[in-house]
Structure 1
Amino acid sequence: MTDTLSAEDAKLVTLARATRARARADEGAAVRDLDGRTYAAASVRLAHLDLSALEVCVAMAVSSGAGGLEAAVVLTGAEPALSALHDLAGPGVPVMVGDERGTIVRSLST
Structure 2
Amino acid sequence: MVVVVVVVVLIVVVVLLLPLLLVVVVVVVVVVVVVVEVVGVVVVGDLSLSACPKPRLCNLSCVCEKLCRAVAFTLCTLEVVVVVVVVVVVVVVVVVAAIVVVATALIEEEV
TM range (shorter): under 0.3
- Normalised to the residue count of structure 2, the TM-score between the two structures is 0.25
Report which of the two has the higher share of strand. Answer: 1
| Structure in which a larger fraction of residues adopt helix | 2
TM-score using structure 1 length: 0.25
